[in-house]
Amino acid sequence: MLQKSRFVRQLLKKARALVLCLAAFGSASSYAVDVSGVRFGQNGDTTRFVVDLSGDTQPKIFLLADPYRIVIDLPEVSWKGGGAVNTMGIVDGYRHGLFTDGMYRIVLDLKNPAVVANAFTLPASNGRERRYVVDIKPSNRSQFLAAVQSSKAQRSQYRTTVQSAPAVSNTRRKDGKHVIVLDPGHGGVDPGNLGVIGVHEKVITLKIARAIRDELKRTGRYEVHMTRNRDIFHKVRERFQIARRLNADLFISIHADSIRNSKVRGGSVYNLSEKASDREAERLAARENKSDLIAGVNLDVVEDDVSGILIELAQRETMNYSAQFAEILVGEMKGRVPTLQRAHRFANLGVLKAPDVPSVLLEAGYLTNRSNAQFLNSSRGQKLIAESTRRAIDKYFSTIVIQSR
Ligand SMILES: [Zn+2]
């Protein structure tokens, strides 16, 4: 069994090496452009979206269907636009944030199909800044789909934003350290859910991840990486690909949940499964898997890099490890941090799909419950979560993994 799994791992590594293609988006921006504000206006059936820019830049604009969205890509601007602005007309909502290094994205959600009737830049004049103006007119589905096609060329070309990790041999590392990859959920243009205390999930997940990282590093036993250490977006798939490139021993994706019932509180740990363990787990997977959609990722690009059979072989072993770690983590959380009664759950979560890296998703608690949200946002709460996680990782490597090697 051991030999077989080693063989599979080697094969997977080779397959991966063949297809790993890193093409960072553009080059790091040398622009120093500020966005000082955005606003919406309505004139007849045309909705106008205006972006105030401090400098010269050529935004890219394209459309994505299902749901209907307009995506505007800018170089890495600094957003000084203040608070949220009311949308108008056909625009239902908008969001913005860093999408990759060097690229800032604005996504407009549309109520109905529409076309971009006009998109142009007005030069600075009479004390007013340069403005990027987009006029949006209602259309029908077939016109929208045609516009999606014709705007394809504008889509930003990127594969992954993450710098190539140093190749790590699959044999035991010289320093004997286990590699842990922490994945703070959401980020950049995908804020995650907004808790009752007015702090976005993406902010809290980063704080928790940093606390876990510090706690693990203090032991001297782990090499710790984070998929992001600032407010930036990553595609779901990119997140676990980072762990694979680093040959991680463990991948932990960190989130904070939301639910209609504001009384519900407590953390839980998820493993990957085709079938959800319950209705709430199913709803959770639907929410968490939407991240790419929210950020305006073009989902018709398929990037398959290993064959199905290899994945299946490795996945069985990986899932076994993942489930054992989840059990241990739940055990360590109980009594230290608020935890759901049934805290080990299963759902079809895209971020847990690395075939060869044991992975769990930690839903640290509910942002819809005031005391739970305050706990997650406090350094005391983060410290307790970090301690539980560190204890679980210690236990996992000293018992489960040792026994099986
Ligand atoms: Zn989340």
CA distance 405 to 400: 9
- As given in the structure block, the two tokens for residue 259 are 């639910």
The pLDDT, as a whole number, for residue 355 is 85
CA distance 245 to 263: 41
Q: Kindly report, residue by residue over 27-40, the tens digit of the pLDDT.
A: 344 457 899 999 99
Ligand 1 centroid distance, CA of 156 (Å):
25
CA distance 233 to 223: 23
Domain assignment present for 208: yes
Look at the alpha carbons of 232, 237, 243, 249 in this order and tell me if their dihedral is positive or negative: positive
> Domain holding 61: CATH number?
2.60.40.3500
Map residue 169 onto helix, strand or coil.
coil
If asked whether residues 130 and 209 sit together in one domain, one would say no
Domain assignment present for 163: no
Ligand 1 centroid distance, CA of 258 (Å):
9
Mean pLDDT score of the chain, rounded to an integer? 85
Task: Evaluate whether 100 touches 25 at the Cβ level (below 8 Å).
Answer: yes
If asked whether residues 191 and 303 sit together in one domain, one would say yes
The residue with tokens 């991948």 is 251
Instruction: With cut-offs at 50, 70 and 90, classify the pLDDT of residue 125.
Output: confident
CA distance 69 to 94: 9
If asked whether residues 76 and 218 sit together in one domain, one would say no
Domain assignment present for 176: yes
Ligand 1 centroid distance, CA of 209 (Å):
13
If asked whether residues 114 and 48 sit together in one domain, one would say yes
Ligand 1 centroid distance, CA of 48 (Å):
32
Strands 78-79 and 34-43, sheet pairing: parallel
Ligand 1 centroid distance, CA of 131 (Å):
34
If asked whether residues 122 and 212 sit together in one domain, one would say no
**307: domain range?**
168-403
Q: Kindly report, residue by residue over 261-298, the tens digit of the pLDDT.
A: 999 999 999 999 888 888 888 999 988 888 888 888 86
Instruction: With cut-offs at 50, 70 and 90, classify the pLDDT of residue 127.
Output: confident
Say which residue, 84 or 45, is predicted with more confidence.
45
User: With 70 as the cut, is the pLDDT of residue 8 above it?
Assistant: no
Query: What strand order describes the sheet that includes 222-226?
Result: 222-226, 178-184, 250-257, 359-366, 267-272, 339-347
If asked whether residues 242 and 289 sit together in one domain, one would say yes
Geometric angle at alpha carbon 177, from 331 and 394, rounded to 5°: 15
If asked whether residues 380 and 249 sit together in one domain, one would say yes
Q: Residue 309: how many CB atoms within 10 A of its CB? A: 10
Domain assignment present for 16: no
Ligand 1 centroid distance, CA of 353 (Å):
16
Ligand 1 centroid distance, CA of 399 (Å):
30
If asked whether residues 291 and 341 sit together in one domain, one would say yes
> Domain holding 338: CATH number?
3.40.630.40
Ligand 1 centroid distance, CA of 255 (Å):
4
Ligand 1 centroid distance, CA of 373 (Å):
14
If asked whether residues 289 and 148 sit together in one domain, one would say no
Domain count, the chain: 2
